[in-house]
Amino acid sequence: MANLETSLKEAMAIEGAIGVALVDYGSGMALGTLGDGGELDLNVAAAGNTDVVRAKMRAMEALNLLDNEIEDMLITLTHQYHLVRPITTPGGRGLFLFLALNRSRSNLAMARHRLKQIETALEI
């Protein structure tokens, strides 16, 4: 099991990582962030992606997809990938990891795989 600081550092070690945040989607507050902030304000990204997570959960409820869980969500921008991965461990309910990647320097499949490993090992 890894603590928050270790998990954020591991996420930043993913090729092409710009920034990472652990976010409470009840409040929209980032509980922890790591990244240089030059390309992206992680606190604004945390709050904005909270709206995305909430909207998707409402849509799943409206579609009666209650026996499904979100593994991750991908937002593809011209120069970046944004990955949102809800925490599925019992202690992490209501939280998600947000990872921003430089699109030209990252391998999306490997980033998704690695973020899943980090999420699974994260101890809240």
Q: What is the pLDDT of residues 69-111, one digit of tens each?
A: 899 999 999 999 999 999 988 888 899 999 999 999 999 999 9
Whether residue 118 is predicted with pLDDT greater than 90 in this model: the reply is yes
Percent of the chain with pLDDT over 70: 99
> Cα(95)–Cα(81) distance, rounded to whole angstroms?
20
Ordered strands of the 17-24 beta sheet: 29-35, 17-24, 95-102, 80-86, 73-76
The answer to whether 72 and 48 have CB atoms below 8 angstroms apart is no
What architecture (CATH level 2) is domain 4-121?
2-Layer Sandwich (3.30)
Residue at token pair 């690695």: 114
> Cα(60)–Cα(37) distance, rounded to whole angstroms?
33
* Straight-line distance from the first to the last Cα atom of the chain, in angstroms, rounded to the nearest whole number: 9
Closest CA to 113 of 124, 102, 99: 99
- Can you give the pTM of this predicted structure? 0.94
